[in-house]
């Protein structure tokens, strides 16, 4: 399984989402590769992804993908992220 976290530059919000997605996986007892990427390279990074976590502002830029795109409203809300990961992969 693979989760890709997306933001504008690939280092800020996506990095926060990456760490919190890894925490969610640990708490759920699930394993997946988690990769942070910028919106410009989303298609390369997510070509084999199961899930993409991102902000609402980047959904249109992601476009068509086989991965489930999940909008995270609060990147610091561990409960929101854990629930999203559990719904998608659990």
2-89 CATH, one of 3.50.50.60, 3.10.310.30, 3.40.50.2300, 3.20.20.70: 3.40.50.2300
Supply the pLDDT for residue 3. 95
Task: Output the average pLDDT for the chain.
Answer: 91
Mean pLDDT value across residues 56-78: 92
Mean pLDDT value across residues 37-61: 90
How far is 51 from 71, CA to CA, in rounded Å?
A: 11
Residues 50/88, Cβ–Cβ less than 8 Å: yes
Sequence ranges of the domains in the chain? 2-89
**Which regions of 1-90 does DSSP assign to beta strands (E)?**
2-7, 33-38, 51-54, 68-71
Q: What is the pTM of this model?
A: 0.91
């Amino acid at each position: 399984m693979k989760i890709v976290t997306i933001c504008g530059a690939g280092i800020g919000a996506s990095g926060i989402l990456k760490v919190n997605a890894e925490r969610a996986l640990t708490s759920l007892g699930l394993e997946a590769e988690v990769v942070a990427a910028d919106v410009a390279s989303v298609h390369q990074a997510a070509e084999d992804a199961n899930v993409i976590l991102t902000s609402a502002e980047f959904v249109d830029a992601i476009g068509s993908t086989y991965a489930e795109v999940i909008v995270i409203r609060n990147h610091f809300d561990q409960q929101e992220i854990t629930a999203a990961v559990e719904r998608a992969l659990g």
